[in-house]
Structure 1
Amino acid sequence: MNTFIKISVASVLMGTTVLLASCSNLLDVTPRSSASSETALTTAEGLDAALNGIYDRLQSTVLYGRDFLALSEALSDNAQATNKSGRLNNESRNIAQASFTNWGTSYLAINQANLIIGATANATFLSDTAQKNRIMGRAYFLRALLYHDLMRAYAYDPGVEIAQYNRGGVPLVTTGVSGQDQITFPARASIADVYKQIYSDLQTAIPLLSATNIPAYGSRPAAQVLLSRVALYNKDYATAVQYATQAIAPSNPALAVPLLANSSYISGWRAPNHPESLLEIVYTTPENIGVNTSLQTTYTTLVRSGDRSTTGGFGDLVPSTAFLNDLEAEKSSTGAVLDIRRQLYELGTTGRGPAFIECTKFLGKNGIINLDNVPAIRISEAYLNRAEANAMLGNNTAALSDLNTIRTRAGLPASTLTDNTAILTEILRQRRLEYGFEGHRWFDLKRRGQDVVKVQGNVPYTDYRILANIPSSEFATNKNLRQNFGY
C-alpha cells in the first residue's frame, strides 16, 4: 500500500481494555506521512492516515495476512499439515487453543475506527461532503468487518447456539478511547446485539460509500456483499438475497463488477490484483510478510506456477484428500477433470521433503515471492450467498440459476436438480470448491452447526473447540468478561 499513510497507535487495545503507553497522543503518524501526531484527527490528511492504519492492521498475520484464511482451512476438512516447518500442525489437529488470535489486533483497529467516526462526525474542517462521506463510510464498513470476524472466531452463530455453552457475543465498544480516563470494562454483548450493531454499521456505510468498485479500500458493492454474508450467518435469508442482488445488479449497470469468464479464471489469480475483488488487502514490497508466514509459503513450495525446479516456501498446509476428491469428482467421458479450478492446485517441489499437491492461488504478485495481495471479498460470493439464501427460502429456481452461474463458469455442466435438499447440498459443495483456501470452510461449517469430519480427528459441533479461546490477559483487567466454555 505505497499510497497509504501509515499510523502507529501508542496503545495496545486488549479487547475491552486499553493500556496506553502514552495518554497524550493516541495516534502517532510515522515519518512516511507529512502529518504530525498533533493533527492526526484534526485534519483531513490525519483522518485519512488514521483510516489507512486500519487497512494496515488487516495485513497482520492474525487477520488477512494469513490466519483468517489458512486457519479456516487447517481447522476444517479442507487441508492437512505437512510438518515441513512445524507450523499449523496443531491447528490441523484441532488442538485446544490452537485457533484464531485476532482479538487484540481487531479491537485495536475497532478503536481506531471509533475515533475516526467520532472525529469525522464533528469535523468542521471537512467542508467537502463527498470526502466526509468517504471517510465515514469506510470507517463504518471496516468496523463491521472487524466485529463480524470477531464473532466468527469467538462466538456461536445465530440459530445454532449450544445453550449450555453459550457465553454470548463479544464486547461492543463504539466510542473511541484516547486516554485512561475513558477506559470501560463491558461484558460480552448478546449475539443478537452484536449482529444488530454490524447491520447498523453496514446500512450506514452503504449509501456513504462510492458505488464504483475500489478494491483496495472497499466501496459500496463490498459492503453490500459483506451485509449479504452477515445476513446469511444470521439466518436472515431475505436480507441476504436483497444485498447480494444489489451488488450483482446495481442501479447503474455500468458499475456492475462482472464474474470472470471461464477462459480468464486462472489468469485472474495470476494478476497483481484479482479482477473479482471487492475488498483486496494490498501489500507493497516493504510490507512483504516473508518466507515464514506469508500465504504463499504457507500453501506452496513453488515460486512460479509450473516450475518444480526452484523451491521457495514451505508448503505447510495442503489440500486434504477429501477436498481433492470433491474437486475432481466430475470428469469427462475420457476421464479428464472438468473443473477448471483444479488447475490452481499443482504438485509442489521436493526441496523441503515429499511433494504434495499444493494450492497456488497466492503466488507472489508482481514477480516478488511471498508478496500476496489477498482478496477478502469477491463478487462470486454474492452469487453463492444468494443461491444458498434462496435455497433456504425454498426458491429452488432462483437458487439453481445462481448455482449454475458458478458451475458453468468452472467448466461444469449446468445442474438439473429439482429437490431442494439436493440443490442446497450442491450449493454448499460449490462454495467449498470456489473458496478453497480463501478462509471460508471452517466458518461455513460452524455457521450451519455441522460437525467437522477429517482424518486428523473429527470435531463434533458440540465440542468446545468450535470457538476460539479469548486471550487470558483479558481477564486480569476486565472482571466482567467470561471465557468461552472449556478453556
Structure 2
Amino acid sequence: MIQRINKIRSAGDHGLPALIKQLNLQILPLLMSLGMVGCTDFVEVEPPKDTLVAETVFDEASTVRSAMANLFFGMREQGMVSGSFGLTTALGIYADELDYYGFEVQNTEFYQHNLLAGNELVRQWWANGYELIYGANDIIRGVEESQSLSEEEKALFTGQALIVRSYIHSLLAQLFGDVPYITTVDYQANNTVSRSPEAEVFEAIITDLERSVALLEGMENPSSERTIPDQYATKALLARMYLYVGDWANAEAMASELIGAFDLEDDLERVFLKDSGETIWQLKPGEAPRNTQEANRLIIQAVPGQTYALTESFMDSFEEGDLREAFWTESISNADNTLTLFYAHKYKADFSQTESMEYSIVLRLAEQYLIRAEARALLGNLSGAASDLNTLRNRAGLPDIPIGTQGELSEAVLQERRMELFTERGHRWFDLKRFGEASAVLEGIKPGWQDTDLLLPVPETEMEINPNLLPQNAGY
C-alpha cells in the first residue's frame, strides 16, 4: 500500500490553525464534533460534552461514533460529496447534463470550460477532501491504539473509516489524476508530500476496501436506515474500483454479491425515498425538516429564477416510453409559456414537509447491474451483459435490447448509465472520461473545451505551499 500524506487545510485557511498545530493534530475529530451544530442528529449520537484529550475520545464507543458522525457530516454538508457546491451540479454543467443560468464565477468557469488554477470551488474540494481523509486516519490511529475498545468495536470503526478514506480518495483521483494517498496524521511529513500516480492510488483504494470488507464481514449495520456504511457499502465501492482498474472478473463477482443481497424497487417513485430497498448507503440530511442538497439545488421553483436545468440534448436522449423521463424529470414554464425548462426530479423535495422523506443516496443497487453488465461485456459474456441492461430497461418500461456485438453492448452500457445515473455525483462526466468519449461529446457544445480538461487543476495555493505537488496538470 502506498504510504503518502498531505497537508490538510480548513476551507477558510490555507494553513492549519495554530491550535491544531500546537496539539500535533491529535484532536481533530473531537474539535469537529464540538463545532458542527446538527451533525449528531445524523446518527442520533450525542457529542462529547467536555473538552477531552485524544486518548479519552477513544475510550468509549459512543465518542468514537460521534467522531465518525462528523465525517459523515463533512461529506454531507461541506464539500464535493453532497454539499451545496458538490459534484452533482458542478460536474453536471462541466459535462452535458445541465445548463447553468447563474452568475457565480467559479461555476461559470466549469460551465464554459475555462477553469483557472485559482478556482475557489476546486480549492474547496481539495481542502475538504483531505480534511475528511485526515479525520478518517485519526480515527483509525486512535482506535488501533485504544486500550478500552473491544476487538469487535475496533474492527467496526476501522472498517467504517477505511471506506470514507477510500471513497474520498477515489473522487480526488478521478478529478485530479495523480494525488497524494494519505494514510497517516504525521504533520511533519505533511509538509513535503508528493503526488502518487493515479493507477497506484486506485490500487491503494482497493487494498483499503479489501481490508474494510474483511473487518466488517458479518456485522449488522448499526443504522436501520443505511446511513452508516457497512460491508455492503464497502463491496459496492469495491466493485466500482475493480471496474475502473480493469479487473472485470472481480467486478462481476462483487456486483453479483450485491445483486443477490438487495432488490430493485419495482416502482420508480420509490427509488429515492429514504426507505428504498435498493439503497446501499445514504447520507441523512441535517435537522428535520430538511430536503436533500440535490433537491434544493436542482428543482426549479420559478422561471425566471432557475440556476440549473437539464440540457436539451439530455432530454432528447430518452427513448420513447422511458418511464424515467416521466418519474425522474419535471418541467416548468414561465408566466407566458414562452420558455419551458426541465429539471431532475429524482428527489421530490416536498417543501412543506414536516419530516425528511428522502436522504442523499451515495450507493444504490442499479449501479451494480451496470457494473456487472460492463464487466460481462468485456469478459465476452454478451448475453449476461444484455440481461443486466434489460433488467433496468424493463423497470423503465422499455423493451429488451438485442445481444449484439461487444462494441454495441459497450455503447449500450454507456447510454444506460447516462439515463439511469443522471445528476448523481458526476457519473456522466466520469463515464465520458472512462469510455474515451469526452472530446467527441463535448468539443462541439463547449467552446472552451480542450483535451487537457480531462483533469482539473491542482489548486495553485496548494502548490505554493508545497512545491512537491508540482508539476501542475497540463493545460493550466
- Aligning the two structures, in what range does the TM-score lie when normalised by the shorter sequence? 0.7 to 0.9
In structure 1, the residue matched to 2:294 is: 295
In structure 1, the residue matched to 2:40 is: none
**TM-superposed deviation, 1:469:** 1.3
Specify whether residues 73 and 342 from structure 1 end up closer, same or farther in structure 2 by C-alpha distance, changes over 3 A only.
Answer: farther
Structure 1: distance between partners of 2:335 and 2:127? 36
In structure 2, the residue matched to 1:77 is: 96
Is 1:343 equivalent to 2:332 in the alignment?
Answer: no
Specify whether residues 118 and 88 from structure 1 end up closer, same or farther in structure 2 by C-alpha distance, changes over 3 A only.
Answer: same
Residue of structure 2 aligned with 1:374, choices 353, 360, 373: 360
Residue correspondence of structure 1 range 307-318 to structure 2 within 5 A? 311=302, 314-318=305-309
Structure 2: distance between partners of 1:209 and 1:351? 55
Letter aligned with residue 342 of structure 1: A
Residue correspondence of structure 1 range 214-293 to structure 2 within 5 A? 214=223, 215-249=226-260, 256-261=261-266, 264-269=267-272, 271-285=273-287
SS in 2 for 1:235: coil
In structure 2, the residue matched to 1:173 is: 182
> Any conservation in 2 of the 1:82–1:317 contact (CA below 8 Å)?
yes
In structure 2, list runs of 5 or more residues that go unmatched: 1-7, 36-45
Is 1:62 equivalent to 2:46 in the alignment?
Answer: no
**TM-superposed deviation, 1:435:** 0.4
> Any conservation in 2 of the 1:300–1:348 contact (CA below 8 Å)?
no
Structure 2: distance between partners of 1:314 and 1:74? 17
Structure 1: distance between partners of 2:143 and 2:132? 16
Structure 2: distance between partners of 1:195 and 1:81? 32
**TM-superposed deviation, 1:106:** 0.7
**TM-superposed deviation, 1:355:** 3.5
**TM-superposed deviation, 1:154:** 0.5
Residue of structure 2 aligned with 1:208, choices 200, 208, 215: 215
In structure 2, the residue matched to 1:451 is: 438
Structure 1 residue runs of 4+, over 6 Å off? Answer: 84-87, 369-372
Between Structure 1 and Structure 2, the one with more helix by share is 2
**TM-superposed deviation, 1:276:** 2.0
SS in 2 for 1:363: coil
**TM-superposed deviation, 1:342:** 3.3
Structure 1: distance between partners of 2:58 and 2:347? 36
In structure 1, list runs of 5 or more residues that go unmatched: 1-10, 156-168, 250-255, 303-310, 332-336
In structure 2, the residue matched to 1:359 is: 344
Structure 2: distance between partners of 1:285 and 1:341? 31
Is 1:402 equivalent to 2:365 in the alignment?
Answer: no
Specify whether residues 412 and 196 from structure 1 end up closer, same or farther in structure 2 by C-alpha distance, changes over 3 A only.
Answer: same
Identity in percent: 24
Specify whether residues 288 and 176 from structure 1 end up closer, same or farther in structure 2 by C-alpha distance, changes over 3 A only.
Answer: farther
TM-score (norm 2): 0.82
Specify whether residues 110 and 394 from structure 1 end up closer, same or farther in structure 2 by C-alpha distance, changes over 3 A only.
Answer: same
> Any conservation in 1 of the 2:323–2:396 contact (CA below 8 Å)?
yes
Specify whether residues 300 and 88 from structure 1 end up closer, same or farther in structure 2 by C-alpha distance, changes over 3 A only.
Answer: farther
Letter aligned with residue 138 of structure 1: Q
SS in 2 for 1:71: helix
Structure 2: distance between partners of 1:86 and 1:186? 30
**TM-superposed deviation, 1:365:** 6.2
Q: How many residue pairs end up in the alignment?
A: 431
Residue of structure 1 aligned with 2:155, choices 122, 126, 133: 133
SS in 2 for 1:19: coil
Structure 2: distance between partners of 1:463 and 1:410? 35
Mean alpha-carbon deviation: is it higher for 25-34 or for 137-146?
25-34
Deviation readout 1:390-439 (Å, 9 max, x if unpaired): 11222201111111111111111112232221111111111100001112
Structure 2: distance between partners of 1:63 and 1:351? 35
Specify whether residues 285 and 234 from structure 1 end up closer, same or farther in structure 2 by C-alpha distance, changes over 3 A only.
Answer: same
**TM-superposed deviation, 1:383:** 0.6
Specify whether residues 154 and 368 from structure 1 end up closer, same or farther in structure 2 by C-alpha distance, changes over 3 A only.
Answer: farther
SS in 2 for 1:428: helix
TM-score (norm 1): 0.80
Specify whether residues 191 and 463 from structure 1 end up closer, same or farther in structure 2 by C-alpha distance, changes over 3 A only.
Answer: same
Mean alpha-carbon deviation: is it higher for 141-150 or for 45-54?
45-54
Specify whether residues 220 and 283 from structure 1 end up closer, same or farther in structure 2 by C-alpha distance, changes over 3 A only.
Answer: same
SS in 1 for 2:401: coil
